[in-house]
Amino acid sequence: MQSIISNTAKVLPDVVNIRQRETVKLSQKNFFNQQTVSNPIIFHGVGVHSGKAVCMIIHPAAVDHGIIFERTDIEDQPNRIRASWQTVSSTNMCTTISNASGVSVATIEHILAALYGMGITNALITIDGPEVPIMDGCSDEFCKSLQETGAIRQSKKRPSLKISTTVKVENEHGWAQLSPRDINLFSVKFLPSDRYEGLTQEQSIQFSYNTDDFAALISKARTFGFYEDAQKLWAAGLAKGASLENTVVIHKGAIMNEEGLRYDDELVRHKALDAIGDMALAEYVLIGHYEACNPSHTLNYQLLKKYFETISAN
């Protein structure tokens, strides 16, 4: 499944002249500027949960536009959905956002992680189905296409939010916390349960946009799950698009994928990838410390919700 760079896809009316500006390479030094893609980028794939073929296009967008999804297969009701923690409608197995009409897009975390990690703040993402294509189970193909296409550096700084108070959420599996820090920092720990059998070693990783390269350190880590869980999901008509081509499958403590893991700590790197994608729903660069142990989409959403409710009450 390859992406195709296109100059013919539709462009928003308010960015007609955007390509007259200088195209820049995506780099850390540009991270705190607002940026958009220099040309539309097309991706074809399948949804990991729906199993449906989908075409997704990332279009350039104007300053302060943010990230907005548009369901092009729906025409009889409002079909745009802002990528925000306030539009999250489900965190069951993935992160799903919906608008007031109930139109939704699922599994948005990997593309949001790529956009956030590569410094793209403004884009219209058109999609002709209910779920973002899974590609090979991570953000790597998205990042490669973003790097190849380049970005337009825009006239304003990227919105940032300095974390002012410590907020924590937890459940029986793990916890997640935001706390004050002078830089943007993600610290994620993964503690395998007894189900992982031979994969029992604790894994941890730290990532900061101030110093680290998202594409090199995080983007290639794939989603993972258990073979016995996949059997149950398939029987229930779920995870229809999951396969060894896009998921690390664990069975009795062993990795079923012929090529094995991409990194010894690929599992925690993917946990960090998901967290970065979910926390992008804050719609800010968070200046502070995200710290978590066995985080999930549910914990990440609950953390953002609790933080914004806390600061609103003060």
As beta bridge partners, residue 37 has 151
Query: Exactly one of 49, 270, 289, 297 is catalytic; which is it?
Result: 297
Burial class (CB in 10 A: 0-12, 13-18, 19+), 20: exposed
Greatest Cα pair distance, the chain, in angstroms, is 57
The CB-side HSE value for 146 (13 A sphere, CA atoms) comes to 29
Count CB neighbours of 46 within 10 A.
Answer: 22
| Closest C-alpha among 260, 51, 40, 24 to residue 153 | 24
Among this protein's residues, is 49 annotated catalytic?
A: no
Alpha-carbon distance of 11 to 169, in angstroms, equals 41
| End-to-end CA, the chain | 48
Assess contact for 87 and 285: CB atoms under 8 A.
no
Contact by Cβ (8 Å): 67, 56:
no
**How many Å apart are CA 44 and CA 47, to the nearest integer?**
10
| Dist. CA 204–CA 176, nearest whole Å | 14
Q: Which of 140, 135, 156 is nearest to 61 (CA)?
A: 156
Give the DSSP letter of residue 85. G
Where would I find the H helices in the chain? 109-117, 140-149, 214-217, 227-235, 266-279, 297-313
Active-site amino acid positions: 297
